[in-house]
Amino acid sequence: MIRFIGDVHGKIDSYKKLIRGSLCSIQVGDMGLGFTRVVLPVLQNHYFIRGNHDSPAVCRSHPNNLGDFGITTIDSKRVLYVGGGYSLDQRGRLPGVTWWHDEELSYTQFEDILDLVQGKEIDVVASHEAPSAIVYQLGLGSNIVETRTAQGLEAIRRVIKPKLWVFGHYHLRFYRTVVGCRFVGLDELEYFDFKRPNRKF
């Protein structure tokens, strides 16, 4: 079983309570790393990707960070992870302190992801934002749909066929199957357990 956990926003004590019931987990961004007084201990078998409210440099230096993007195998499942996201409120934030200019992956990095997934079977995708087609279904504004990250994830969605795609970012609960893939959007400190293939999830 893999436990997926939504945005944490620096509430590390609450996060640690959520992982107690699982052997392994992936937190889908906005842990809050890089913000003052947010410290995440090293936790065996509990991983995270970065969101838009994380310092990319601080995340990359943490042993539990999966990285900006890649494929890993956890509990016999091939997981594609894609970090980063766009901050709609960046104008009110302080660069290098509460906002980071490289919060989103670049177009080149999304091209690298598309090359990476070609011909590979992916069981699960974990990302901070969601593909633009899914964001439309969330009923959010067009400025959220058209971020570089949402567009890049949409390009990925069109070429792979995972069983499950989990995301955070929007602070909304979302459970819907689209073209054979179950999309799960997690609210802050909400979790979702993806169980073994012979069990319902």
3-class DSSP string for the chain = CEEEECCCCCCHHHHHHHHCCCCCEEECCCCCECECCCCCCCCCCEEECCCCCCCHHHHHCCCCECCCEEEEEECCEEEEEECCCCCCCHHHCCECCCECCCCCCCHHHHHHHHHHHCCCCCCEEEECCCCHHHHHHHCCCHHHHCCHHHHHHHHHHCCCCCCEEEECCCCCCEEEEECCEEEEECCCCCEEEECCCCCCC
pLDDT at 199: 39
Cβ pair 53, 75 in contact under 8 A: no
pLDDT at 143: 64
> pTM (2 decimals)?
0.94
143-178: burial string, b at 16+ Cβ within 10 Å, e else: ebbebbbbbbbbebbeebebbbbbbbbbebebeeee
pLDDT at 142: 66
Give me the architecture of the 2-194 domain, per CATH: 4-Layer Sandwich (3.60)
Q: Walk along the chain (201 residues) and give the pLDDT tens digit of each residue.
A: 999 999 999 999 999 999 998 999 999 999 999 999 999 999 999 999 999 999 999 999 999 999 999 999 999 999 999 999 999 888 889 999 999 999 999 999 999 999 999 999 999 999 999 999 999 888 876 667 789 999 999 999 999 989 999 999 999 999 999 989 999 999 999 999 998 544 343
Domain boundaries, the chain: 2-194
